[in-house]
Amino acid sequence: MQSQFAQNQPIEVSSALLKATSIGAEKVEEASELAQNATSPMCFQTHFESCMELYADAKTVANYLDSHQGWFGECAEPMKVEPLGDNAYALTIGRFGAFGYEVEPKIGLELLPAEAGVYRIQTVPIPNYVPPGYDVDYKSSMHLVEVTTDGVPMTRVEWQLEVAVYLRFPKFIYKLQKSLLQKTGDRILSQIVRQVSRRLTFKTQEDFHTALGIPFPPKKSKKG
């Protein structure tokens, strides 16, 4: 026997129940989003500009840059360098970290031949290597500006680069404030880029002038 109440009473859902259900759904959705973000890679970026002064004409400098196979590996020390064909290299940058997490980035860079006077470097995959929890996007360009200083030809190699690093941290790292992670990651990346760039610049200047038998910096001629 069916209940008269069940047959004749309309089904009503209170606004309080609807609100509670809605809030519950939002919390589930929010929790799902947080869980996804906890394993999503974070992106750290930096931009850097500088120049390298080489005391020779632009043609001599261009010939030197084109024959990078003879100097790049040595000038990149203490980074480990492995050639990848004629114009590319695999570089192990070093070990860096913060908050108890460390990474030893290894990237492939291709030194493209000059096009319209502009030299470019870009990331390329390293054969049989899968980066453990990170990815690097490196792009740089440089051009030559020839000037004369005290009667001595000098070429300024002016360059700029953009680096983006995508890191997938262990879960315990994501418990930290995201803004703190972002600020720290950007700062460390900037320090790495500046440190590597300055060291590479100095060693390249040293190698270039030694190879050509040019004092560095050149002795200024006496006047009068």
In a domain, 28, yes or no: no
Assess if residue 101 is contained within a domain.
Answer: yes
Domain-located, residue 195 = yes
Q: Is residue 98 part of a domain?
A: yes
pLDDT higher than 70, residue 88: yes
pLDDT in tens, 104-150: 788 999 999 999 889 999 999 999 998 888 899 999 999 999 999 88
pLDDT reading at 27 higher than 50: no
Residue 217 domain-assigned (yes or no): no
Residue 61: inside a domain? yes
Which tens digit of pLDDT belongs to each residue from 145-203?
Answer: 999 988 889 999 999 999 999 988 888 888 888 898 899 889 988 998 999 999 999 99
What per-residue confidence (pLDDT) applies to 200? 93
Residue 56: how many CB atoms within 10 A of its CB? 20
Q: Quick check: is 4 in a domain?
A: no
Half-sphere exposure of 19 (CA within 13 A, CB side): 3
Separation between Cα atoms, residue 33 and residue 41, nearest integer Å: 14
Sign of the torsion angle spanned by Cα atoms 24, 25, 29, 35:
positive
Angle between the 58-66 and 178-212 helix axes, to the nearest 10 degrees? 110
> Cα separation of 81 and 74, whole Å?
8
> Which pLDDT tens digit goes with each residue over 47-60?
999 999 999 999 99
pLDDT at 19: 46
Identify the CATH number of the domain in which residue 128 sits: 3.30.530.20
Here the tokens at position 22 are 């809605």
If one compares 151 and 38, the residue with the highest pLDDT of the two is: 151
How many CA atoms, within 13 angstroms, populate the side-chain half-sphere of residue 46? Answer: 18
Q: Is the pLDDT of residue 80 over 80?
A: yes
**Cβ atoms of 82 and 109 closer than 8 Å:** no
Q: Residue 107: inside a domain, yes or no?
A: yes
What does residue 146 show for φ and ψ, rounded to 5 degrees?
-90, 130
Sign of the C-alpha dihedral computed for residues 22, 28, 30 and 33 taken in this order? negative
Range of the domain at 79: 43-212
28 vs 53 pLDDT, higher one: 53
CA 190 to chain centre: 9
Answer for the pair 52, 64: CB distance below 8 angstroms, yes or no: no
Q: What is the pLDDT of residue 2?
A: 39
Could you give the number of structural domains in the chain?
Answer: 1
